[in-house]
Chains A and B, each alone.
Chain A
Amino acid sequence: MTAAVVDIDTALEQYDPVMGLEVHVELNTNSKMFCGCPTTFGAEPNTQVCPTCLGLPGSLPVLNAAALESAIRIGLALNCEIAEWCRFARKNYFYPDMPKNYQISQYDEPIAYNGWTEVVVDGETYRIDIERAHMEEDTGKSLHVGGATGRIHGASHSLVDYNRAGIPLIEIVTKPIVVPGDKAAAVAKAYVGMLRDLLRALGVSDVRMEQGSLRCDANLSLKPRGASELGTRTETKNVNSLRSVERAVTYEITRQAAVLSSGGRVTQETRHWHEDTGITTPGRGKEQAEDYRYFPEPDLLPLAPSREWVEELRATLPEPPATRRTRLQAGWGFTDLEMRDVVNAGAQELIEQTVALGTSPAAAKKWWLGELARAANDAGAELDDLGVGPEQVAAVQKLVDDGALNDKLARQVFDGLVNGEGTPEQIISARGLALVSDDTALSEAVDRAIAANPDVVEKIRAGKGAAVGALIGAVMKEFRGQADAARVRELVEDKLSS
């Protein structure tokens, strides 16, 4: 059932959105948070389990020190204070994919709190305040079988894969984000994108949204423009791409605005985002707030990371995003406007990686913001999700630099890459895109062109040098554009000057 919506401009004329973003990050530690099981993604179900992550009677958790280190580094990178003393807590609720029927999490004593970060949208910088970043263990994964939708409703039975149970998670929670309404969705997207880049730079997570290693829940409420009192919020889950973050926020603004402007009340609830239809639907009803009966986890000792250690970890942090942006822009020689386009397209990291592989900044920008951005837009995807990486862009540009391709052919190679037709070499061969630079073939073609166009030859010999273009054009036509135009010119000039 699709809810009534109003268009976004109408919604923002009447209401200001207030957002809160909760991002779950799966850490890329070798072992799970509280046991030694491996964390490899995509293993056979229930092969990466032990008594502890299965919650068998008698088993106990032992904290993975690498997870704590990552948590602290994330906290520091988000300008948080790091707790001098904190504890884990048990969050109690029954669910089959929760082995112990409680989750080891942190409650009122998070490892990191009171931070901030910033994002840039359309050249404008927005500060995002961070409430907390805390550690917790992931749950298992339920697979609902026998229904039409794969959701629990209508399913005949469920299967649970506990490989994911106990994978270390960091939950990063923002304070309420208040930005101009027309920027809210873009800021949300930019924030998650910034986090993704930051976490990648920290080396703490694979940050693969499509694999669930970075997951975003978007809390959103509306208040009448200028009002100070917050409205009722919804929490939208299952937002699994950067583009979805933007779309889901926009959708909720328009849906809630429709509810409010028709005199209704927004229900406080969890909603599910549907990537395919672009709407949210109500999740399980939460008439009453669930009582998780949090209490300090007695199986684990309190944490008291020493200040010396915290400072050591601070020294390992990558460059802050703003400094980094300024440095890259200067190094690349991009104007402010060009850099804004790069950031807006989410291409900064991609260009950096491409340049690192030997491509000139201008060429890297040309492909990422041109051909590839267009392809992403057509596919409704982000640049990251195109399936084309910096290695491939650098490889194609190398072929251009070497004269094996021209820009026109390179565009066709990118088209092939986006369509998953294989490596650049495979595409060039399959599509027959190689530039002809075989002198014998070119020379024969030039001879044919000279013979076929005596009038043009006459003009050239009479001093009209520009007429050379016509002969080159004839040769290029014969090779359907796949000849090395510079070499053709040389050959024509050689032959006519002799």
Chain B
Amino acid sequence: MGDLTRKTAVELAELMSSGQAGSAEITQAHLDRIAATDEAVHAFLYVDTDGALAQAKAIDERRAAGEQLGPLAGVPLALKDVLTQKDVPTTAGSKILEGWKPPYDATLVARLKAAGIVILGKTNMDEFAMGSSTENSAYGPTRNPWDLTKIPGGSGGGSSASLAAWQAPLAIGTDTGGSIRQPGAVTGTVGVKPTYGGTSRYGLIALASSLDTPGPCARTVLDAALLHEVIAGHDPLDSTSIDQPVPPVVEAARRGSVEGLRIGVVKELGGEGYQSGVEARFREAVELLTKLGAEVTEVSCPHFQYGLPAYYLILPSEASSNLAKFDAMRFGLRVGDDGELSAEEVMAKTREAGFGAEVKRRIMLGTYALSSGYYDAYYGQAQKVRTLIQRDFEKAYEQVDVLVSPSTPTTAFGIGERIDDPLAMYKNDLCTIPSNLAGNAAASFPCGLADEDGLPVGFHVMAPVMKDERLYAVGAALEAALAEQWGGVLMTKAPELEVAGR
């Protein structure tokens, strides 16, 4: 049977359905792996050992009783700490929520539970999902299992690192400007940002409401698709949720065909500022897809270059308002409540103590951008750019079925390397931001290692709204073709982590 932590979700599900392994055993193997590796990686903020094992045993009992279970029942998963899980500490990577236990499950969490997926714990992230390296976590950075001196991406670095460290076969991320895809790219894993509204935001601690999209993370395309199918679909508790059937993502991932698919390479996402190894692997992947029958053309999206500035006005504006609720009154941290200070003073002291530097920076930016007299020049203008980017996509999708680019301009950079240079940090998300602004679907798939540093490179695919299945078609085709070259998925090339106490 081999090491249970090296299996895909599909393989684990087969082991369980054929009676070769139980969920309790599988879950325990992953808990052991976390215990052995997480001191080095720090992917988890909270490991719910008892809860996970109880859930696993319940699934085993139901299976033993002959109950028909979902395809991922009993498979363990790592949950980004930005989603509420009833009675389990949820921090969004911030001190201001330290110790808070939500009284309710996010819709997505409820769906995971209903599907019998075992939640191992909550993964580390940049505070309130603000960042591209997980260095902004109030609880210390997560390290990239490929190279512990490198960042695992962000904000969902904990989720991507847990996959790359073989701590979990599945993970949940949330993507506001690339926080699923960029971590996926730099850890050699699969990260999918579904269409905005395709997955529910109810119970997702909001960063930027009009951009936030939860999605699946996995080591294989089919695993991601199966997870996608579990978490997606209309939710009456989220007004922005789309009331349409879930796109046929699993079918597309199983077929993995790009025959006749029209692929557009975005002209503006490449060239200066892009690492040569990243561009090389990207070009090879495009060639592979051409060989597999895709029709590749170059497409221009002239307004993408304004995506980054527009994003950094819209996001802080919404965030400044979304984060106002963290005021010490009803939950979370409370500082200065000595019976003397006023409520306003306690609010101010709590926010001063509870928020990190990047969060404060964005709250200030957003407050400024929404201020009377500046609104039109900043927030209003950014919304216009957003419309122009949406039009770029619409025009492009008249010519092609999907757009592609590198997922990130560079591979994983060193921890501490960009932390003092917000602009350099923000540029990580150059390729991923346009899809968030337009609300369409996008994903990052592993496409090899850069020659110069031996680190993973991500292949970025973008598809129209509610055409998420096209992402999986491209991802699965690429995965299969590359697996032939590599003899397995890219993750099998990852160096072994030094395992403590085993």
A binds B: yes
**Residue among A56, A60, A92, A157 with the highest chain B CB neighbour number at 10 A:** A60
A294 to B209, CA, bound (A): 15
CB distance from B276 to the nearest CB of A (A): 39
A314 to B367, CA, bound (A): 41
Closest to B104 in A: A51
Name B92's contact: one of A57, A291, A301 (CB within 8 Å): A57
Q: Is the Cβ of A55 less than 8 Å from the Cβ of B330?
A: yes
Asked if B371 lies at the interface with its beta carbon under 8 angstroms from chain A, I say yes
Q: Is the Cβ of B209 less than 8 Å from the Cβ of A58?
A: no
Interface string of A45-75 (1 = CB under 8 A from B): 0000001001111111111000000000000
Q: Is the Cβ of B239 less than 8 Å from the Cβ of A58?
A: no
Instruction: Identify which of A99-107, A131-139, A404-412 touches chain B.
Output: A99-107
Asked if B275 lies at the interface with its beta carbon under 8 angstroms from chain A, I say no
Name A58's contact: one of B83, B320, B343 (CB within 8 Å): B83
Interface string of A439-480 (1 = CB under 8 A from B): 000000000000000000000000000000000000000000
Asked if A14 lies at the interface with its beta carbon under 8 angstroms from chain B, I say no
Asked if B238 lies at the interface with its beta carbon under 8 angstroms from chain A, I say yes
Q: Is the Cβ of B324 less than 8 Å from the Cβ of A58?
A: no
Chain B residues 287-325 with CB under 8 Å of chain A are: 317-318, 320-321, 324-325
Chain B residues 213-240 with CB under 8 Å of chain A are: 236-240
Interface string of A90-119 (1 = CB under 8 A from B): 101010100111100000000000000000
**Residue among B201, B317, B330 with the highest chain A CB neighbour number at 10 A:** B330
Closest to B318 in A: A298
Asked if B17 lies at the interface with its beta carbon under 8 angstroms from chain A, I say no
**Residue among B236, B317, B372 with the highest chain A CB neighbour number at 10 A:** B372
**Residue among A58, A299, A301 with the highest chain B CB neighbour number at 10 A:** A58
Chain B residues 57-114 with CB under 8 Å of chain A are: 83-84, 90, 92, 97, 100, 102-104, 106
Q: Is the Cβ of B372 less than 8 Å from the Cβ of A301?
A: no
CB distance from B155 to the nearest CB of A (A): 16
Q: Is the Cβ of B239 less than 8 Å from the Cβ of A60?
A: yes
Q: Which residues of A contact B324 (CB under 8 A)?
A: 92, 94, 100-102
Closest to A91 in B: B321
Q: Is the Cβ of B325 less than 8 Å from the Cβ of A55?
A: yes
Q: Is the Cβ of B83 less than 8 Å from the Cβ of A57?
A: no
Chain A residues 293-309 with CB under 8 Å of chain B are: 293-295, 298-301
Asked if B168 lies at the interface with its beta carbon under 8 angstroms from chain A, I say no
Q: Which residues of B contact A157 (CB under 8 A)?
A: 339
A4 to B134, CA, bound (A): 63
Interface string of B309-349 (1 = CB under 8 A from A): 00000000110110011110111000000010001100100
Q: Is the Cβ of B329 less than 8 Å from the Cβ of A56?
A: no
Q: Which residues of B contact A51 (CB under 8 A)?
A: 102-104
Q: Is the Cβ of B370 less than 8 Å from the Cβ of A99?
A: no
Q: Is the Cβ of B102 less than 8 Å from the Cβ of A301?
A: no
Interface string of B344-378 (1 = CB under 8 A from A): 10010000000000000000000100111001000
Q: Is the Cβ of B327 less than 8 Å from the Cβ of A94?
A: yes
Q: Is the Cβ of A59 less than 8 Å from the Cβ of B202?
A: yes
Interface string of A134-169 (1 = CB under 8 A from B): 000000000000000000000001101000000000
Q: Is the Cβ of B325 less than 8 Å from the Cβ of A298?
A: no
A359 to B238, CA, bound (A): 53
Interface SS majority for chain B: loop
Chain B residues 234-252 with CB under 8 Å of chain A are: 236-240
Q: Which residues of A contact B203 (CB under 8 A)?
A: 58-59
Closest to A50 in B: B104
Name B370's contact: one of A56, A57, A92 (CB within 8 Å): A92
A57 touching B321 in the complex, CB below 8 Å, given contacts A63-B239, A298-B210: no
Closest to A157 in B: B339
CB distance from A431 to the nearest CB of B (A): 53
A58 touching B240 in the complex, CB below 8 Å, given contacts A100-B325, A291-B372: no
Asked if B205 lies at the interface with its beta carbon under 8 angstroms from chain A, I say yes
Interface SS majority for chain A: loop
Q: Which residues of A contact B321 (CB under 8 A)?
A: 90, 92, 102, 293, 295
Name B106's contact: one of A55, A58, A295, A301 (CB within 8 Å): A58
A57 touching B325 in the complex, CB below 8 Å, given contacts A291-B371, A299-B209: yes
Name A62's contact: one of B97, B204, B206, B239 (CB within 8 Å): B239
Closest to A61 in B: B239
A92 to B370, CA, bound (A): 10
A446 to B344, CA, bound (A): 81
Chain B residues 360-407 with CB under 8 Å of chain A are: 367, 370-372, 375, 379
A157 to B325, CA, bound (A): 20
A56 to B78, CA, bound (A): 23
A299 to B325, CA, bound (A): 15
Closest to B344 in A: A94
CB distance from A487 to the nearest CB of B (A): 70
**Residue among B321, B326, B339, B344 with the highest chain A CB neighbour number at 10 A:** B321
CB distance from A409 to the nearest CB of B (A): 58
Q: Is the Cβ of B97 less than 8 Å from the Cβ of A101?
A: no
CB distance from A212 to the nearest CB of B (A): 22
Q: Is the Cβ of B367 less than 8 Å from the Cβ of A293?
A: yes
Q: Which residues of A contact B330 (CB under 8 A)?
A: 54-56, 99
CB distance from B97 to the nearest CB of A (A): 7
Q: Which residues of A contact B84 (CB under 8 A)?
A: 56-58
Closest to B372 in A: A291
A295 to B324, CA, bound (A): 14
Q: Which residues of B contact A59 (CB under 8 A)?
A: 104, 202-203
A470 to B318, CA, bound (A): 89
Closest to A292 in B: B372
Closest to A57 in B: B205
Closest to B324 in A: A101
CB distance from B156 to the nearest CB of A (A): 16
A298 to B383, CA, bound (A): 12
Closest to A142 in B: B343
Q: Is the Cβ of A60 less than 8 Å from the Cβ of B237?
A: yes
Q: Which residues of B contact A55 (CB under 8 A)?
A: 325, 330
A139 to B344, CA, bound (A): 17
A109 to B367, CA, bound (A): 22
CB distance from B106 to the nearest CB of A (A): 6
A100 to B327, CA, bound (A): 9
A284 to B238, CA, bound (A): 37
Q: Which residues of B contact A94 (CB under 8 A)?
A: 324, 327, 344, 347
Q: Which residues of B contact A299 (CB under 8 A)?
A: 206, 209, 239-240
Q: Which residues of A contact B372 (CB under 8 A)?
A: 291, 293
Can you list 20 A-B contacts with CB-CB less than 8 angstroms, sorted by A residue number?
Answer: A56-B103, A57-B102, A57-B205, A58-B202, A58-B205, A58-B206, A59-B202, A60-B238, A92-B324, A94-B327, A102-B324, A291-B371, A293-B367, A294-B370, A295-B318, A295-B321, A295-B370, A295-B375, A300-B239, A300-B240
Query: 8 more A-B contacts (CB under 8 A) besides A58-B202, A160-B329?
Result: A51-B104, A56-B104, A57-B97, A58-B203, A59-B202, A99-B330, A298-B318, A299-B240
* A residues apposed to B, CB below 8 Å: 51, 54-63, 90, 92, 94, 96, 99-102, 157-158, 160, 291, 293-295, 298-301
